[in-house]
Amino acid sequence: MYPQPNNTPNEQDSVKEVNALIGNERFLVQQFIPLDLIDQKKYDIRIYVQKDHQGQWTVSGGFSRVVGSADSYITNQATEIKSIHDMLKENNMLSTNQLDKMEKISIQAAQAIEYKLGHLGEMAVDFGLDHQGNPWIIEVNGRTQKKFVKRVNDSELTRTIYLKPIEYARFLARSPRKK
């Protein structure tokens, strides 16, 4: 078991922390992303992609996780959950153009991962925006943690996220089986 890294305020300190943790072992480590800030806090955007009643990948919605500490780079330990609608109103790099890009990339990621891994029905793609507004995939999740959606307080989003897998299951049940 590895010790927990400290939160660090910059890239160089983060690299030193990671090197101290891994020593001579080989790991794949994601490139450092200088994340955009909202109220001096880092955030990410989670996009839900799910198959619909016709078996097609679609974007069901998403939300943003805001980190409580300005020094933290771990966005999945958020202290605040915000709707995409609210984030678009904030003073940050998120725009409808960036959101459109992230949604298209999310569909492409779902299709590519399903091609490699086999049949899937839903996933969540986490993005960070850098200081220039460029979207970066942080990770893709097969376990989508729908519990966060309820914290957004958007009944339509919650309904869609929970209902779409049932609609897809109905599609599968009605589809002729391949032999």
Residue count (the chain): 179
Tens of pLDDT along 31-54? 888 889 888 889 999 999 999 999
Mean pLDDT of 121-135: 95
Burial of 22-32, coded b for 16+ CB within 10 Å and e otherwise, reads: eeeeeeeeeee
Model pTM score: 0.83
Question: Of all residues in the chain, what percent carry a pLDDT higher than 70?
Answer: 91
Beta bridge partners of 58: 50
Q: How far is CA 146 from CA 8, 39, 46, 78, in A?
A: 29, 26, 11, 15
pLDDT of residue 8: 62
Domains along the chain with CATH numbers: 1-32 (no CATH), 36-174 (3.30.470.20)
Helix (H, G, I), strand (E, B) or coil at 35: strand
pLDDT, mean over the chain = 88
pLDDT of residue 13: 81
Radius of gyration of the chain (CA): 18
Tens of pLDDT along 76-127? 677 889 999 999 998 889 999 999 999 999 999 999 999 999 999 999 999 9
- The DSSP secondary structure of 88-146, one letter per residue, reads HHSSSS--HHHHHHHHHHHHHHHHHHHHHH----EEEEEEEEBTT--EEEEEEESS--T
| Closest CA relative to residue 2, chosen from 22, 17, 19 | 22
pLDDT of residue 4: 52
**42 is written with which tokens?**
């880092």
